[in-house]
Structure 1
Amino acid sequence: MRLSSLLSTTLRQDPADPAPAGMKLLQRAGYLRATSPGRLAWSPLGVAALARLTTHLRAPLDAPQPLILAPEGPAEQGHYFGRYAGGWEAQALEVPLLRLARSEISSYRQLPATLWQQRLVSGRPWLEAWVLTPDEEALEAEMSRLQEAYSDLLTRWDLPGQPVAMLPNLLGSALAWTWASPHPEGSLRLHAGQMDSRLASLIFAQGAPAADPMAPVETPDVQTIAELAAFLQISPAETAKVVCYRATCAGHTEPQLLMVVIRGDLEVNEAAVARRVGATTMEPASEADLREVGAVPGYASPVGLSHPRLRVLADTSVVAAGGLVAGANKAHTHLKQVQYGRDYEAELTGNIHQLPAEEETLPARPLGRLEAAGTALAEGVGASCMSSQGRPEPLALGYVGWDLTELMTALCEVHHDEEGLSWPAELAPFDLALISLADGEETIAQAEHLYAALLAAGFRVLYDDRAKKAAGPGVRFKDADLRGVPLRITLGRRALSEGGAEWKARGGEPDLISVDQILARLQAWRTAFTD
């Protein structure tokens, strides 16, 4: 890539717009520009950096195949994975993906299959991949492998030093992580007191099993969690509340009654609930709905209930808890010491709670997301394959998505010094900057010959062939450092006349070497950082 014709200039001062520090570094180095409020344009240099990053992000995927999917309209939104771009938003890609799989996959022998694409989400580049497996067990194993591989990758890039945290599931899948870096300008919220750098940000300690059996307690005219906590003089966190919905779900012809059990101090994440059950519509259940399945409004719980329309979902907050106070399905009565697994069970469990209130959290920057969605979407679309047992089974679907802008910004804030960016060699968009200070025909020809030889040997070269009038030596050196290229080779008239060139690693001291030795030394240098 020749700088004389490259659409990318550097800035000597930070841009005036209120951008994160890493994004300002990218703008100063000429990787991107703000074209309007909230909109960024990546330059050819920036595209090269994104390509290098996505190469490493695709590496953990199992034989990934590229494709291009067009999102479907808003009528079908709400079923699909969220991408964070100023807010979690539905991007209806999974239905066309599963329709494609329905037409192309007929047997479990064609699986697993991994498909990927790069596209813009709300004006920001994302790398997205989908994993298709013949069943949920295989999906969970593959997504767990990817979770570990990506955590190791971010650790290698020193991002956990911020640190990297994994949020609880926001959209309802049984297995889900969001990688996020705590950052004062971040748009996500992490629970400050319960965050772990390598685990979920909301961690519910396993409570001691209830020592005593359930016991009824009279609670006259007590119907809300606040009233119950005040009446029994306990914390809302010591109660289990139910929130009920009437829902139309994939695979069911009749409306279903969803009974969500959650700790009394938390709120239900309705998007997560809808996602878990494949709901196309969901509204608060009526008192008639509750009575039909045997529940009593104001005193409802899943204890003792069984009905074809009833589907119980339990949040991890109650699964992990010991004995809680819950409704008795009897007017003016609750039950003490209600234990999940002993006194009731749920069809589905997982993180289906909202994040805590802002005053209890710290800001974080979302980087990417991994989620095992299971088979619900495939069931709704009719995407199945013949299993090893010789019967059709719905495909299991997983998702991986990386916000490349946020990830690149976070990397820049870790890898920089007073001179500018300092990319790790494996992430640098170029292996080296070749700077030609030659001004005569013969020395220019030597520089061109070396540039061609480097390209032929497979090196990624940023060739500063600008005229002296356009940029003097000092400007060229500063530009190379600002852009973070890990190695600089300079060809000047005096050095060339002696058969040599200046070799300088980023942050190191210059060294004069023979031009004839450049290729061999570069090969050894590249081998050193790839091993």
Structure 2
Amino acid sequence: MKQSKLLIPTLREVPNNAEARNLQLLLRAGFIRQVSGGVYAYLPLAMRVLKKMNAIIEEEFEKIGAVEIKMPTLLPLSLLEKTGLTSSDEKAYNFKNRTGKNFILGSTYEELISELIGDEVSSYKRLPLTLFQIETKYRNDKRSRFGLLRSYEFIMSDAYSFHATEKSLDEMYRAYQKAFSRIFERLGVKVKSLLGDSQIDEQTDALEYMALSESGDKVGCFSTGSDYAADLQAATSAFTSKKSHESLKEIEKVTFDQQKNLEEAAVALDIPLQKTIKTQLYIADDQPILILVRADQKVNELKVKKYLQVQRLNAADETKVETYFKSAPTYLGPIGVSIDCPIYADLQVQDLANALTGANEENTYLQNINPERDLQVEYYADFRLVKEGDVSPDNSGTLELKKGVEVGRMVKVGTYFSERLKTSVLDENGQHIPVQMGYYELGISRLLATVAEQNSDQEGINWPAEVAPFDLHIVQTNMEDETQTKLTNTVEKMMIEAGYQVLVDDRLERGGVKFADADLIGCPVRITVGNQADEGTVSIKFKQTQATIEVKQEELISTLDILLNSES
């Protein structure tokens, strides 16, 4: 294919607003262009890579019996409201059609797929069944970040399996794990598998696949002494009770002349943060609750939500705090709570003695709070986010926190959706049983960005062979040289007949410009037709290793076959 016929708008400099490495690479190499914040156009080179990525995914999924479908972009809100998961989702694009019916742009399809199976499959004999699609999805985030790693519009493969038994679901879950491993290997991307969070039920198995990246918006927790790895939201740490043996003191009220938050008050009173109680008000469904953690810790809202088994958990804003407690959030405390507001506390809080907390009065705190004596706590549980250096939950090593991007995940959904949507089949005894479901997703646009970022150098992208836009990039240095043109045409024909996908730089540009663009684009092999064309000699450069070699035209195919096989 002639480069002059393609739209490949390369850039010499990194755009000012492109902070993420993946965005810099793909913009400079002419693969994508930003249409609006968080919205991108995929240009010809990107489309070639995406088609190859999709083909790999389709091939590996079909090996385990998955079949492809296509679901609509417009989803009726009434269907999603049946499960209670998406009806209030602030990340959904909501709108009405001309008749006033509510729709959202598709981002998740568990409800629609489950209802489809419920309508069309009535007997266990038609299970297991696994379906997948590769589609553009939409997410109305507050802001987009990190280029293709977090955008408003993204490409994703989502697969769903349906089973009559948990054993069958387990078998398919393992099959998808193997399929994912093969896909990542063929794409040339390095990932780590982590314990994930299903966001449905505390006992539901979930796996996340993370590619480490400083541009990532996820945090993974890894043990220094074992294979334990978990997403930050799902991670736990070993807890050993260290009950203080201090003598219990009487509660004292402390008032400051000026505003101080809990941390500042602790410093002023020479109290370590480990002896403070931070109080946060949440609305769990419609019930106000208080969550207590130490001031050096953060609340893990997902743990709270799952522990309480509520569908919605929202941090109360300043207005709600003042409505319930007649106090600013800064001075919120758990003493003297008179309204119907249950208190839940992190495990570490119960070990405190003579702690500092808010007094529900402006500029005022209470010293010498002792949980067993002074607080009416409903339950103590693990409600905090783990921190760097915490002991691993298996008591082997400590936790390290690393940034990354989630490129895939799978969840044993079980009967969550089938119970809510009445999706059942008749078993061998003629009894209705809820359908077991598994969910498996791959972020394709994220993978495009991740492959580019992980396989790159200062010159540009080094595409792995299976997903490169072209196998070979032929660069003719002087378009006015007839001998070069003749040899270029001959080499192009030879390579195409040998089964290679070939890009030919036939532009009227200087050799230096062509070489720079070829390095940005990143095809695995560059063949240069230059000053030795009259001798029938070309230069081969392997992008990944930077190795170069000069060969005669007639030896080109055999040389490439040998060297490419040795590299692979």
TM band (smaller chain): 0.5 to 0.7
Q: Determine the C-alpha separation between the residues in 2 that align with 1:366 and 1:84.
A: 18
Aligned residue in 2 for 1:187: 217
Q: Could you report, residue by residue, the CA deviation over 1:150-191 in whole angstroms, capped at 9, with x for unpaired residues?
A: 46765787865xx84636415225122333455554434556
Q: Structure 1 residues 157, 50: CA separation in 2 closer, same or farther (over 3 Å shift)? A: closer
Q: Structure 1 residues 84, 245: CA separation in 2 closer, same or farther (over 3 Å shift)? A: closer
Aligned residue in 2 for 1:289: none
Aligned residue in 2 for 1:137: 167
Q: Could you report, residue by residue, the CA deviation over 1:225-281 in whole angstroms, capped at 9, with x for unpaired residues?
A: x9xxxxxxx98999xx9x99679xxxxxxxxx9x99999977574699589979699
Give the secondary-structure state (helix, strand or coil) at the position aligned to 1:72: strand
Aligned residue in 2 for 1:412: 452
Give the secondary-structure state (helix, strand or coil) at the position aligned to 2:15: coil
Look up the equivalent residue of 2:492 and give its one-letter code.
Answer: Y
Aligned residue in 1 for 2:521: 483
Extract unaligned runs of 5+ from structure 1.
Answer: 210-225, 227-233, 248-256, 285-296, 302-314, 326-330, 341-350
Are residue 116 (structure 1) and residue 133 (structure 2) matched?
yes
Structure 1 range deviating more: 414-423 or 391-400: 391-400
Are residue 96 (structure 1) and residue 112 (structure 2) matched?
yes
Q: Determine the C-alpha separation between the residues in 2 that align with 1:63 and 1:527.
A: 31
Aligned residue in 1 for 2:15: 15
Structure 1 residue 488 displacement after superposition: 1.2
Q: Structure 1 residues 133, 354: CA separation in 2 closer, same or farther (over 3 Å shift)? A: farther
Are residue 72 (structure 1) and residue 75 (structure 2) matched?
yes
Q: Say if 2:343 and 2:377, in contact at 8 Å, map to a contact too.
A: no
* 1:122-271 matches, cutoff 5 A: 122=139, 123-134=152-163, 135-147=165-177, 150=180, 154=184, 164=192, 166=194, 168-169=196-197, 171-173=199-201, 174-181=204-211, 183-189=213-219, 199-202=229-232, 203-205=235-237, 267=299, 269=301
* 1:412-491 matches, cutoff 5 A: 412-437=452-477, 439=480, 444=485, 447-448=488-489, 450-466=491-507, 470-491=508-529
Give the secondary-structure state (helix, strand or coil) at the position aligned to 2:229: coil
TM-score where L is the length of structure 1:
0.65
Structure 1 residue 396 displacement after superposition: 2.4
Q: Determine the C-alpha separation between the residues in 2 that align with 1:120 and 1:104.
A: 25
Q: Say if 1:372 and 1:399, in contact at 8 Å, map to a contact too.
A: yes
Q: Say if 1:111 and 1:133, in contact at 8 Å, map to a contact too.
A: yes
Q: Determine the C-alpha separation between the residues in 1 that align with 2:463 and 2:536.
A: 30
Give the secondary-structure state (helix, strand or coil) at the position aligned to 2:230: coil
Aligned residue in 1 for 2:320: none
Q: Structure 1 residues 421, 108: CA separation in 2 closer, same or farther (over 3 Å shift)? A: same
Are residue 514 (structure 1) and residue 528 (structure 2) matched?
no
Q: Could you report, residue by residue, the CA deviation over 1:37-65 in whole angstroms, capped at 9, with x for unpaired residues?
A: 33222211011222333444455532332
Extract unaligned runs of 5+ from structure 2.
Answer: 94-104, 140-151, 242-261, 263-272, 317-339, 353-372, 391-400
Give the secondary-structure state (helix, strand or coil) at the position aligned to 1:476: helix
* 1:295-334 matches, cutoff 5 A: none
Q: Say if 1:432 and 1:489, in contact at 8 Å, map to a contact too.
A: yes
Q: Structure 1 residues 392, 463: CA separation in 2 closer, same or farther (over 3 Å shift)? A: farther
Aligned residue in 1 for 2:6: 6
Q: Determine the C-alpha separation between the residues in 2 that align with 1:8 and 1:363.
A: 32
Q: Structure 1 residues 100, 517: CA separation in 2 closer, same or farther (over 3 Å shift)? A: farther
Number of residue equivalences = 452
Give the secondary-structure state (helix, strand or coil) at the position aligned to 2:168: helix
Aligned residue in 1 for 2:337: none
Q: Say if 1:433 and 1:462, in contact at 8 Å, map to a contact too.
A: yes
Q: Structure 1 residues 98, 57: CA separation in 2 closer, same or farther (over 3 Å shift)? A: same
Structure 1 residue 31 displacement after superposition: 1.0
Q: Say if 2:21 and 2:215, in contact at 8 Å, map to a contact too.
A: no
Q: Say if 2:220 and 2:230, in contact at 8 Å, map to a contact too.
A: no
Structure 1 residue 6 displacement after superposition: 0.5
Q: Structure 1 residues 508, 171: CA separation in 2 closer, same or farther (over 3 Å shift)? A: same
Q: Structure 1 residues 387, 515: CA separation in 2 closer, same or farther (over 3 Å shift)? A: farther
Give the secondary-structure state (helix, strand or coil) at the position aligned to 1:408: helix
Q: Say if 2:283 and 2:313, in contact at 8 Å, map to a contact too.
A: no
User: Sequence identity of aligned pairs in percent?
Assistant: 21
Q: Say if 1:98 and 1:383, in contact at 8 Å, map to a contact too.
A: yes
Q: Say if 1:165 and 1:180, in contact at 8 Å, map to a contact too.
A: yes
Aligned residue in 2 for 1:38: 38
Look up the equivalent residue of 1:384 and give its one-letter code.
Answer: S
Q: Could you report, residue by residue, the CA deviation over 1:278-318 in whole angstroms, capped at 9, with x for unpaired residues?
A: 96999x9xxxxxxxxxxxx77899xxxxxxxxxxxxx9x98
Q: Structure 1 residues 136, 487: CA separation in 2 closer, same or farther (over 3 Å shift)? A: same
Q: Could you report, residue by residue, the CA deviation over 1:414-462 in whole angstroms, capped at 9, with x for unpaired residues?
A: 3222222222333423211123456467864654454345334432222
Q: CA RMSD in A?
A: 5.5
Q: Determine the C-alpha separation between the residues in 2 that align with 1:524 and 1:85.
A: 52
Give the secondary-structure state (helix, strand or coil) at the position aligned to 1:377: helix
Q: Could you report, residue by residue, the CA deviation over 1:95-137 in whole angstroms, capped at 9, with x for unpaired residues?
A: 2222333344444444241312231434433222223131333
Structure 1 range deviating more: 102-111 or 440-449: 440-449
* 1:345-364 matches, cutoff 5 A: 364=404
Q: Could you report, residue by residue, the CA deviation over 1:374-419 in whole angstroms, capped at 9, with x for unpaired residues?
A: 2221233333344456544333222233333433333333322222
Q: Determine the C-alpha separation between the residues in 2 that align with 1:324 and 1:393.
A: 46
Structure 1 range deviating more: 7-16 or 407-416: 407-416
Look up the equivalent residue of 2:111 and give its one-letter code.
Answer: V
Q: Determine the C-alpha separation between the residues in 2 that align with 1:114 and 1:276.
A: 33
Q: Determine the C-alpha separation between the residues in 2 that align with 1:410 and 1:333.
A: 49
Q: Say if 2:476 and 2:485, in contact at 8 Å, map to a contact too.
A: yes
Aligned residue in 1 for 2:53: 53
Give the secondary-structure state (helix, strand or coil) at the position aligned to 2:116: helix
Look up the equivalent residue of 1:171 and give its one-letter code.
Answer: Q
Look up the equivalent residue of 1:504 and give its one-letter code.
Answer: K
Give the secondary-structure state (helix, strand or coil) at the position aligned to 2:172: helix
Q: Determine the C-alpha separation between the residues in 2 that align with 1:94 and 1:478.
A: 46
Q: Determine the C-alpha separation between the residues in 2 that align with 1:276 and 1:199.
A: 25
Aligned residue in 2 for 1:287: none
Look up the equivalent residue of 1:476 and give its one-letter code.
Answer: K
Structure 1 residue 27 displacement after superposition: 0.7
Q: Determine the C-alpha separation between the residues in 1 that align with 2:501 and 2:171.
A: 37
Q: Say if 1:278 and 1:376, in contact at 8 Å, map to a contact too.
A: no
Q: Say if 2:285 and 2:312, in contact at 8 Å, map to a contact too.
A: no
Q: Determine the C-alpha separation between the residues in 2 that align with 1:280 and 1:25.
A: 39
Look up the equivalent residue of 1:30 and give its one-letter code.
Answer: G
Q: Could you report, residue by residue, the CA deviation over 1:307-361 in whole angstroms, capped at 9, with x for unpaired residues?
A: xxxxxxxx9x98xx9x999xxxxx999799x999xxxxxxxxxx9x685699x97
Q: Determine the C-alpha separation between the residues in 2 that align with 1:455 and 1:277.
A: 60
Structure 1 residue 199 displacement after superposition: 1.6
TM-score where L is the length of structure 2:
0.62
Q: Structure 1 residues 379, 354: CA separation in 2 closer, same or farther (over 3 Å shift)? A: farther
Q: Determine the C-alpha separation between the residues in 1 that align with 2:126 and 2:292.
A: 40
Structure 1 residue 373 displacement after superposition: 1.5
Q: Structure 1 residues 36, 478: CA separation in 2 closer, same or farther (over 3 Å shift)? A: same
Q: Say if 2:67 and 2:131, in contact at 8 Å, map to a contact too.
A: yes
